[in-house]
């Protein structure tokens, strides 16, 4: 297990249990969420980019109060992008993150037992895996980002800071929704063949998710 996961779990626990008041203690619950996603890149080098099919799965703490809900979570999410290069090669970037979001949601009743929710918040994504695959005719290069190609490491993914937006419907403790995830900083701190001025790739991900609380 990566050594940063236990401290991250502790952080999520502290966020969940921070001053809610004794009268609100009974509103605490835990849940799990999973879904499929489509992600891509924005930035100077993001020409002719295509969506990459990924996913998100993990758990969260739900603390509700006065129509609002605070949800710190811990998720594994896979993002990326596909592109066609000028030399005819097809490139796939795959990025894996342990993501820690803190989401504030507002719920609005829309019928018996149903609520519409919307909200958002920040997230930190710690990269735990990165690969680039290039296919040109019968030639294939499939390397981890930390591979040394002789002229340096293939790529260095950065810790990602994201802005998250959520919306959907709750039916009791079950919910269906959409999750928009916009990277705010550079995806890669270094990328072989890219100049510093062009290295402004950022992720953009839309996920359809389902969640249940216990």
pTM here? 0.84
Looking at residue 152, its pLDDT comes to: 82
Looking at residue 24, its pLDDT comes to: 41
Q: What is the average pLDDT score of the chain?
A: 88
Model confidence over 52-104: pLDDT tens digits? 999 999 999 999 998 899 999 999 999 999 988 767 789 999 999 999 999 99
Q: Which residues contact 21 (CB under 8 A, 6 or more apart)?
A: 65
In the three-class reduction of DSSP (H, G, I as helix; E, B as strand; rest coil), residue 4 is classed as: coil
Rounded percentage of the chain residues whose pLDDT exceeds 90:
69
**Selection from 155, 159, 157 nearest residue 193 by Cα:** 155
Work out the angle at residue 162's Cα, subtended by the Cα atoms of residues 157 and 165, and round it to the nearest 5 degrees: 145
**Selection from 191, 182, 174, 62 nearest residue 123 by Cα:** 182
192-213 average pLDDT score:
92
Largest CA-CA distance found in the chain, in angstroms, rounded? 65
Q: Has residue 5 got a pLDDT over 70?
A: no
Model confidence over 174-198: pLDDT tens digits? 999 999 999 999 999 999 888 887 8
Model confidence over 104-137: pLDDT tens digits? 999 999 989 999 999 999 999 999 999 999 998 8
Do residues 72 and 15 lie in contact, with contact meaning Cβ atoms separated by under 8 Å? yes
Looking at residue 193, its pLDDT comes to: 81
Confidence of residue 47 (pLDDT cuts 50, 70, 90): confident
CA separation for the pair 194, 153 (Å, rounded): 13
Backbone angles phi, psi at 213, to 5 degrees: -105, 155
Confidence of residue 163 (pLDDT cuts 50, 70, 90): very high
In the three-class reduction of DSSP (H, G, I as helix; E, B as strand; rest coil), residue 25 is classed as: helix
Looking at residue 3, its pLDDT comes to: 45
């Amino acid at each position: 297990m990566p050594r940063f996961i236990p401290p991250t779990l502790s952080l999520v626990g502290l966020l969940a249990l921070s001053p809610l008041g004794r009268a609100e203690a009974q509103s605490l619950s835990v849940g799990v969420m999973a879904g499929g996603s489509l992600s891509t890149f924005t930035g100077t080098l993001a020409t002719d980019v295509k969506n990459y099919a990924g996913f998100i799965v993990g758990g969260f703490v739900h603390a509700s109060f006065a129509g609002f809900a605070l949800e710190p979570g811990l998720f594994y999410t896979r993002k990326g992008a596909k592109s066609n290069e000028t030399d005819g090669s097809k490139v796939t970037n795959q990025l894996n993150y342990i993501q820690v979001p803190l989401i504030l949601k507002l719920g609005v009743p829309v019928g018996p037992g149903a609520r519409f929710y919307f909200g958002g918040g920040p997230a930190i994504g710690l990269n735990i895996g990165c690969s680039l695959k290039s296919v040109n005719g019968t030639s294939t290069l499939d390397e981890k980002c930390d591979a040394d190609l002789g002229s340096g490491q293939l790529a260095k993914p950065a810790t990602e800071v994201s802005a998250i937006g959520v919306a959907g419907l709750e039916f009791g403790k079950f919910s269906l929704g959409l999750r928009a995830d916009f990277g705010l900083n550079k995806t890669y701190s270094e990328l072989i063949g890219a100049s510093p001025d062009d290295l402004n790739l950022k992720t953009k991900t839309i996920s359809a998710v389902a969640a249940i609380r216990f």
